[in-house]
Structure 1
Amino acid sequence: MTTFIEWLNLGFRWFHVVAAIAWIGASFYFIWLDLSLREPPKWKKDKGVKGDLWAIHGGGIYEVAKYQLRPEEMPKTLHWFKWEAYSTWLSGTALLVVLYYLQAQSYLVGPDTWIQSANLAIAASVGFIVGAQLIYELLLRTPLVKKGLAFALSLVVLITIASWLAHNLFSARAAYLHVGAMMATWMAGNVFWGIMPAQRKFVDAVSNNQTPDENLALFAKLRSTHNNYLTLPVIFCMISNHYPFVYGHEFGWLAIVAIGCFLAWGRHYFNLKHTGSKQPLIAISSLCGLVLVALTLSLTKPETSLVSDASAPTSAAQSQLDQAKLTVKVDQLIQQHCANCHSQAPTQPGFAAPPAGIIIDSLESLTQQSAKAHVAIQSGYMPLGNMTQLSDSDRAILLNWLATNNATE
């Protein structure tokens, strides 16, 4: 069963990445295309062309035109773009089920979160995503939607609250994933609830020589623009599980909001650039903001209030144990709290191979993985969900041993 789950994980993850590439690529391309259109010559305007552009790719020159309403004769084949979004969301949901629901006690439940039951955590996960989707759809139907800056700020507030809530409901790693899943669901919902229905009504209207609802078309375009700005923050959330020094930080719930804002701000630079407006200060300020977040997280301590200062060569833990006893103690801790997952043949249910290929089943292997182990232990990320109940004092012993061992190398 464990091997089967791992294969499902691999299959859904691969498909999810491929589908996301197709969706994001299409999103970026059409935003670029729409913003890059320029006023066409008169003869094209007479044919109903709103804007056009010329491009070269694949060994040929392309002429692209966007009609104000419709061409003189509707094409027999009209290409729609929807399954990129649907397949990305569906595969991402399947991956959420396989990794976080089927192994909820290991990945979804946090060591000191509000919910300690796997079944309740799964229910909370579903409620979190569905509830956030309902709130987003309600916001779209308020007067705020017509005020760009006010609506953007309201989303930032909503994401901040959601991030704080996710960090209290789920493990830190799962919390980041849920913030990303929340925004990805908004994006897929924009396609399903807004963009596709509007496009169907538009095609039906122009095919019957009727005037389409301009407000409906503009609303669909607004949803598409939202997706464009949400894309980079969502991608960050999707890859964040590899970086516990970010999501494991005491203020990781706030860091994800700051990083998302600066990424969206950087995206704004490119959107303006597509229109011919070059504002490098936006790109520079976006980069500086991201660097500032990185420096802040690096210079402030993660959640270490429960452990002693691992940077000191001597500690209370070491003073109570001579070096020989300390070595024996650390080896015992490795066998009890690390080797069950991080060994060639894991004994922990749900693991057919060591996570990320990291082996920590001896003092030597712990030394080899010192940098990664220090971050994972200090942030409280490891052991996963603290399944093996690693105590604060034992966590301090491991951290102090790592610091001393590195200092003597």
Structure 2
Amino acid sequence: MEAVFHDWISLFVRWAHIIAAIGWIGSSFYFMGLDYSLRKRKGMEDDKVGDTWQVHGGGFYHMVKYKVAPEHMPEELTWFKWESYSTWMTGFAMMAVTYYWGAKGLLIDRSVADLPVPVAILLSAGSLVAGWFLYDGLCKSALRHRPAVMFAVLYVALVFAAWAFGQVFSARAAWLHIGAVIATMMSGNVFLVIIPNQRIVVEDLKAGRAPEAKYGQIAKLRSTHNNYLTLPVVLMMVSNHYPMAFGHPYSWVLIGFILVIGAVVRHWFNMHEQGRHGAIMKWQWPLATVLAIGMMWFSSWRPGQAAAEVAPQAAMAVVSKHCAMCHAATPTHEGFEEAPGGVAFDTLPEIRAHASKMLAQAVLSNTMPLGNETGMTPDERATLGAWLRAGAPE
């Protein structure tokens, strides 16, 4: 009963997270596109950056952006903040339900680091806080005047963090935590920088003071960071279904690929919104395609997994020892009342029917058994892999 209750809670929290994320990503992409579509018209006042005309849902909209703020506080002002806050809160709730509640199976891998559950959870939550302070310090450093260099340093730091997470957490959790660290940076930008800066401008307007432009400029820089980091985060959040990515022995290299691909694709859209043409628009998609192909090639390579002939009895012994306790018509594992996903390995035809999933989850990655609870060794994974690649013969 507890397993069913946990699954329903997980489903509802995931649903809420997706709904919130759609709202945040949608508004973020819209306003970046709006900014880039602004044009300075002839005769426009000096306090205006530009304006743009848009049509949607049968109506016309005329948007104008001020360089700093209008002369007087408008009667009604819409704030865009809860999309970000609710996305982070539901995301953390989902991580708690999935990785903290099920820490022994999903957060901890005993073959990587046999951590006590409280220690693993503390490391997880602490890494989110540490990630924000390191990023915020970088944004306030002298590199803030050289955005490209700062972003390069941030890239190296995130790839290093991906490697570090892989030294303490399960492969699935390590990959997910990079996404969570980036998402915390992004939401922290909204909560601790963008909105407070906007409030300073609003308070100046209310008091009859002329707001300083620097607050808007700082907020704009953080918003741009969020824009370029969004696509990598989205992929990392949904990657738990694809062990060929997070389960690779060098998954931190794949993180490096994804960060670049996501930023390059986002850059093309940003340039498109600006109405740019020519060479500046021609390199992004070819580069992203080459990187994607390179990532797929790299993910297919596994060190030290040479083909070998395996006795069927030896492979079946591995399945019986490490897989069948959960994946059976009547599981013997205390955490399951029925086979997860309806996948059972009681018979050879059932094993053959799910051979590709077994190969991906238990051979090409260490995803299964969960948390390596049964202590499956590299040699046993190699044995199982050779047998499955041969067609699982009798």
Query: Normalised by the size of structure 2, how large is the TM-score?
Result: 0.92
Give 1:12-161 correspondences, 5 Å limit.
Answer: 12-42=13-43, 44-45=44-45, 48-71=47-70, 74-161=73-160
Paired residue type of 2:296? A
- The whole-number CA distance in structure 2 between the counterparts of 1:224 and 1:356 is 40
Assess, with a 3 A threshold, how the Cα gap between structure 1 residues 211 and 10 changes in structure 2: closer, same or farther. Answer: same
State, as a whole percentage, how many aligned pairs show the same letter: 38
Given candidates 360, 364, 381, the residue that maps to 2:349 is 364
Residue 11, structure 1, aligned to residue 12, structure 2: yes
Contact 1:345 / 1:352 at 8 angstroms: preserved in 2?
Answer: yes
* Deviation >6 Å, runs of 4+: none
Deviates more, 1:64-73 or 1:274-283: 64-73
User: RMSD of aligned C-alpha atoms?
Assistant: 2.2
**Distance in 2 separating the partners of 1:196 and 1:343:** 53
In 1, Cα distance between equivalents of 2:50 and 2:64: 6
Which moved further from structure 2: 330-339 or 154-163? Answer: 330-339
Report the equivalent of 1:181: 180
How do 1:7-406 and structure 2 match up within 5 A? 7-42=8-43, 44-45=44-45, 48-71=47-70, 74-278=73-277, 279-298=281-300, 300-301=301-302, 305=304, 309=306, 311-312=307-308, 315=309, 317-318=310-311, 326-327=312-313, 329-343=314-328, 346-351=331-336, 354-378=339-363, 379-405=365-391
Contact map agreement 1:266 1:287 (CA 8 A) in 2:
no
Pair 393,72 (structure 1): closer, same or farther in 2 beyond 3 Å: closer
With over 3 angstroms needed to count, the CA separation of the structure-2 counterparts of 1:9 and 1:352, relative to structure 1, is: farther
Contact 1:49 1:65 in 2 (8 A): yes
Aligned partners of 1:248, 1:221: CA distance in 2, in Å?
A: 36
Alpha-carbon offset, residue 258 of structure 1 = 1.9
Counterpart amino acid of residue 160 in structure 1: V
Distance 1:230 1:346, change over 3 A: farther
2:297 maps to a residue whose letter is L
Partner-residue secondary structure (3-state), 1:168: coil
Compared CA separation, residues 63 and 359, structure 1 to 2 (3 A)? farther
Q: 1:349 to 1:200 in 2, by over 3 A?
A: farther
Displacement, 1:69?
A: 4.0
For residue 184 of structure 1, report the CA deviation from its aligned partner: 0.2
Structure 2 letter corresponding to 1:224: S
Q: CA separation in 2, counterparts of 1:120 and 1:341?
A: 27
Measured in 2, the distance between the counterparts of 1:251 and 1:392 equals 15
* TM value normalised by structure 1: 0.89
Unaligned runs of 5+ in 1: 319-325
Superposed CA deviations along residues 258-316 of structure 1, whole A, max 9, x for unmatched, are 22122112211211221122312122212221222212222x22x5x3xx53x44xx2x
**In structure 1, what is the Cα distance between the partners aligned to 2:45 and 2:72?**
15
Cα distance between partner residues in 2 of 1:201 and 1:349 = 56
Contact 2:345 2:351 in 1 (8 A): yes
- Rounded to whole Å, the distance in 1 between the matches of 2:293 and 2:212 is 45
Q: 1:351 Cα deviation (Å)?
A: 4.4
CA 1:116/1:64 → structure 2, altered by over 3 Å: closer, same or farther?
Answer: same
User: Quick one: structure 1 residues 269 and 20, their matched pair in 2 at CA, closer, same or farther if it must change by over 3 Å?
Assistant: same
**Residues 64 and 194 (structure 1 numbering): CA distance in 2 closer, same or farther, change over 3 Å?**
same
Q: How far 1:340 moved relative to its partner?
A: 3.0
Query: Following the alignment from structure 1 to structure 2, what is the Cα–Cα distance between the partners of residues 286 and 393?
Result: 36
For the residue of structure 2 that corresponds to 1:63, the secondary structure is: strand
Distance change (3 Å), C-alpha of 1:69 and 1:153: closer
- Native 8 Å contact 1:3 1:352 kept in 2: no
Q: Which amino acid aligns with 2:194?
A: I
CA apart distance, 1:349 = 4.4
Q: Which amino acid aligns with 2:294?
A: L
